[in-house]
A and B are shown apart, each in its own frame.
Chain A
Amino acid sequence: MSAASVHSAVEPAETPLTPESWGKLGMWIFLAGDAVGFGTLLAGYGAMRLTSADWPSPYEVLGINLTALMTFLLICSSVTMVKGLEWLGKGDRARCKLFLFLTALGGAIFVSLQAYEWTHLIHRGLHINGNPWGASLFGTTFFLVTGFHGLHVTGGVIYLLAIIRYVANRPEPRASYNAVEIVGLYWHFVDLVWIMVFTFMYLI
């Protein structure tokens, strides 16, 4: 059974925006909505920070060594994600599953490091309603934005594990190509958002 026949059986009509599948369009629309959510949080953060007289300097207070490592980890997990899709395109299900697993592992390590970072910062006095360094909104926005992103990574890890199972259970490797491409869109989006969060909340 060819992949094309599987697709025509599942999706009889084509979408002009994403000719491969409706699912891909659905994910793009979801991501655009989610991006508005993150955009609103970051825009609100920017406006509050610009108008605050005593905003602490983030990279001095938070430290960026660990976060730079986390950024690198997410970039690496994006690469394993595209490699997984590439292997599936070549019909190699085992390698695809391996790379998807590595991607999920990267996400799990990222969330663990974030938990470590939060614990460390809370012990140093950074709280959601105040901190020793200046504007109390600094802690509020920090935990809200990084927490919202961390939840996305956690969701992504669960989503990836579910897709590994899905890939394993398809009768033919390429039948799951579309599903893997869609989980990839979500994962790269989480990476993209972290690039923004890292820049605006840690570096600037």
Chain B
Amino acid sequence: MASAEHKHPNYMAIFWYLAILTVVEIAVIYAPLAKLTIGVLLCALALGKAALVAMYFMHLRFETRTLGMVAITPLAIATLLVFLLLPDGFAVAKRTAGEKAAAEAPAKH
């Protein structure tokens, strides 16, 4: 059967990459770096680990390109959604802060 033969990546190597990247992730949160830098590094490491799992464990590397497009679409949608939600989130945060200030103001006199 064709599917049994054509894909045999070195699974143990992938396992070690994933284990090492997890240790690096934990080291990064204690590193003396700016919060934003740590956030960006952690996102990059997580995406790298996810890509390793998808490409080798899920055999996406050996599949057709179109199937790869199907697989990547949710990531694009989720990324877009963060930016769609942010303006609303900031507006609510601003209003809540305004209401809090208004509620505290009369109590002073």
Q: Which of B65-86 contact A (CB under 8 A)?
A: 66-67, 70-71, 73-75, 77-79, 81-82, 85-86
CB of A119 closer than 8 Å to a CB of B: no
A179 to B88, CA, bound (A): 44
Are the C-beta atoms of A75 and B15 separated by less than 8 Å?
yes
Q: A40 and B78 in contact (CB under 8 A), knowing A75-B18, A191-B57, A203-B29?
A: yes
Q: Is the CB of B74 within 8 A of A32?
A: yes
A-B pair count, CB < 8 Å, reads 141
Contact with B along A184-202 (1 / 0, CB 8 A): 1100110110011011100
Contact with A189, one of B25, B28, B58, B88 (Cβ below 8 angstroms):
B58
The chain A residue sitting closest to B45, CB to CB, is A199
Q: Please measure, in the bound complex, the distance between the C-alpha atom of A154 and the C-alpha atom of B9, giving whole angstroms.
A: 28
Question: Which residues does chain A contribute within 8 Å of B66, judged by CB atoms?
Answer: 16-17
CA–CA, A79 to B13, complex, Å?
10
**A25 to B63 Cα, complex, angstroms:** 11
Interface size class of A (residues with CB under 8 A): 35 or more
A6 to B2, CA, bound (A): 13
Secondary structure of the B side of the interface?
Answer: helix
The minimal Cβ–Cβ distance linking A152 to chain B, given in whole angstroms, is 15
Which residues from B are CB-within-8-Å of A198?
46
The residue from B49, B58, B85 contacting A185, defined by CB atoms under 8 A apart: B58
**Bound CA–CA A88/B3 (angstroms):** 12
Cβ–Cβ < 8 Å partners of B97 in chain A: 53
Q: Once the chains bind, are A78 and B3 in contact (CB under 8 Å)?
A: no
Check if A51 sits within 8 Å of B93, measured CB to CB.
yes
Measured CA separation A82–B53 after assembly (Å): 11
The distance in angstroms between the C-alpha atoms of A25 and B71, with both chains bound, is 11
Please tell me if A4 contacts chain B, counting CB pairs below 8 Å: yes
CA distance A76 to B18 in the complex (A): 10
CB < 8 Å: which of A32, A38, A76, A195 contacts B70?
A32
Query: Could you tell me if B11 and A82 are in contact, using CB atoms closer than 8 angstroms?
Result: yes
B residues at A contact (CB < 8 Å): 1-5, 8, 11-12, 15, 18-19, 22, 25-26, 28-29, 38-39, 42-43, 45-46, 49-50, 53-54, 57-58, 63-64, 66-67, 70-71, 73-75, 77-79, 81-82, 85-86, 88-90, 92-93, 97
Supplied contacts A191-B53, A203-B26, 4 more A-B pairs, CB within 8 Å: A17-B63, A174-B1, A188-B53, A191-B57
A-B contact pairs, 12 of them (CB 8 A): A17-B63, A31-B71, A50-B89, A51-B93, A52-B93, A53-B93, A53-B97, A75-B22, A79-B11, A86-B11, A195-B50, A203-B29
